[in-house]
Amino acid sequence: MEKRIMKGNEAMAEGAIRGGCRFYAGYPITPQSEILQWMSWRQKEVGGVFIQGASEIESVNMTFAARCLGSRAFTSTSGPGFSLYQEGIAYWVSAEIPCVVACVQRFGIGDGFISAGQDNYWQAVKCGGNGDYHLIVLAPNSVQESCDMAYEAFELAEKYRHPVCLLSDGTIGQMMEPVVLPEMKEYGLDDLDWTISGVKPGEDHKVATDVTYFEPVQEWNHKYLAKMRKISEEEQRWESFQVEDADVVLVAYGISSRVAQEAVTRARAEGFKLGLIRPITLWPFPSKAFDEIPETCKGIVTVEVNMMGQMREDVIIHTKGKFNTYAMTVDEPRIHTVDEVMAFAKEVFEGKDEEEVY
């Protein structure tokens, strides 16, 4: 094992390399450009391919093509670029091509700001392209997890023949922390039987495209729904911190979860029973985690670096509206302070009216 001090973006890129990624296509956009920069020289070192696409649309489709040929293929972007990726990502799903995409989130609508944020939750979790689908969405909250999740993402995608999204944020991507790098994985172009490389003379050629072109629509849809139910049941991941007796429970991911965890520690030291659920998979959303919340809980608070409290509605859905649920949001690109989170939670404990987020 090798130890280094790295940025989150660099650790994610290196985790993908060590996980077998040998093709990367992307386009520069803050705050994820270090992934592109890292791949530009590391792919050459490991015998892989790096392409800076002329656009996000070109990059997402080259990633699709490389994955069809057998290479573990990865691409990354941020807010506006992620919007341009959506048609290509939806096609990955329909063709059952297990590509991996990273979105390092920023703040704001449209082009938004280059500051860190958590504005792509709905887009990543609710399906940003055409049709009924979900991506498997992993949310790192440290440099180490940025590496580990990228390292694991290809095998998780291949397990289900389904794309995986690494939903980081600008703060996690830019911060520097110690990281332990895993061993390199070797991966061959012909290791999976569905890829279109390696057809021998006399064998039927292979096609990688929207599978509904070749299968009855209802038959494919039923298989897809069964796969989604299996993933939803078996891949829920989360961390819980002192939820079992909590009077108020925070729910947060990414950089917000680190602030929330410190708030729990300080609140407990003051005798205030605060708890935290950190979703690690944003889809499947960890509904099982909420079974730990006691009946006496006064409310749930999502802590998010966006304006509308995008995760709040999932908490309401997965708790079946059992608890008053609030969203602690921001109206400018900044991260909440620990003191702000504690103060908000205390207002909930004291009977704060449940307000509309927008």
350, two tokens: 């004291």
104, two tokens: 């390092």
CB 165 within 8 A of CB 93: no
Residue 180 confidence (pLDDT) above 60: yes
Judge if the upstream peptide bond of residue 284 is cis by omega within 30 degrees of 0: yes
Tens of pLDDT, residue by residue over 281-301, are 999 999 999 999 999 999 999
Nearest to 165, CA basis, from 130, 126, 136: 136
- H helix count then E strand count, the chain: 11, 14
Helix H or strand E segment including 299: strand 299-303
Cα separations (Å) of 197 from 89, 152, 187, 205?
A: 22, 23, 14, 9
Q: Which residue reads 């919340």 in tokens?
A: 293
Nearest to 314, CA basis, from 287, 296, 275: 287
Question: Cα 159 to chain center, whole Å?
Answer: 17
Which residues are 299's β-sheet partners? 248
Tens of pLDDT, residue by residue over 305-353, are 999 999 999 999 999 999 999 999 999 999 999 999 999 999 999 987 7
Tens of pLDDT, residue by residue over 227-248, are 999 999 999 999 999 999 999 9
**How far is 252 from 301, CA to CA, in rounded Å?**
8
Q: What is the reported pLDDT for 247?
A: 98
**How far is 253 from 273, CA to CA, in rounded Å?**
20
**How far is 299 from 197, CA to CA, in rounded Å?**
54
Q: What is the reported pLDDT for 186?
A: 84
Q: What is the mean pLDDT of the chain?
A: 94
Q: Which backbone phi and psi does 283 adopt, to 5 degrees?
A: -140, 125
CB 281 within 8 A of CB 136: yes
**How far is 63 from 44, CA to CA, in rounded Å?**
17
165, two tokens: 């999204």
* Mean pLDDT along residues 3-16: 98
β-pair type (238-241, 274-279): antiparallel
Alpha helices in the chain (DSSP H): 8-18, 33-45, 56-68, 79-94, 121-125, 143-160, 170-174, 217-234, 254-269, 312-318, 338-349
211 vs 180: which has the higher pLDDT: 180
Q: What is the reported pLDDT for 187?
A: 84
* Mean pLDDT along residues 106-131: 92
Nearest to 274, CA basis, from 246, 296, 302, 241: 246
Q: What is the reported pLDDT for 355?
A: 62
Which residues are 301's β-sheet partners? 250, 326
Is the pTM value of this prediction over 0.85? Answer: yes
Residue 40 confidence (pLDDT) above 60: yes
Question: Cα 130 to chain center, whole Å?
Answer: 19
Q: What is the reported pLDDT for 152?
A: 98
Residue 159 amino acid letter: K
β-pair type (274-279, 248-251): parallel
Backbone dihedral region for residue 306 (phi beyond 0: left; psi -120 to 50: alpha; all else: beta)? beta
Q: What is the reported pLDDT for 358?
A: 39
Q: Is the dihedral of CA 107, 342, 144, 231 positive or negative?
A: negative
50, two tokens: 């790096």
Residue 28 binned pLDDT confidence (cut-offs 50, 70, 90): very high
Residue 357 binned pLDDT confidence (cut-offs 50, 70, 90): very low
